[in-house]
Amino acid sequence: MTKQLTAVIVDDEPLALEGLSLRLAKIPEIKVIGQAENGDEAIKLCQTLEPDVLFLDLQ
């Protein structure tokens, strides 16, 4: 069995955040464990949750 990757999504647009979360929910190998709307929230989440991957909005 393949290890499920944990992920945190970071985006300041709530619609984009929700959309990506819904798309990733359809991929069994990825589990979204957190969402953040800015960099400060993302840093705190990553320190606490230690995700395998981050999905970042850089614009």
Q: Which domain holds residue 25?
A: 5-56
Query: How far is Cα 18 from Cα 1, in angstroms, rounded to an integer?
Result: 28
The position carrying tokens 């999905």 is: 55
Q: What's the domain count of the chain?
A: 1
For residue 21, what pLDDT is reported?
A: 96
> What spatial distance separates the first Cα and last Cα of the chain, rounded to whole Å?
36
Tokens of 17: 């955040």
* Cβ–Cβ under 8 Å, residues 38 and 12: yes
Q: What is the pLDDT along the chain (59 residues), one digit of tens a residue?
A: 678 999 999 999 999 999 999 999 999 999 999 999 999 999 999 999 999 999 998 77
Q: Residue 16 sits in a domain of what CATH number? A: 3.40.50.2300
Q: What is the DSSP letter of 8?
A: E
What was the pLDDT predicted at 1?
A: 65
Residues in the chain: 59
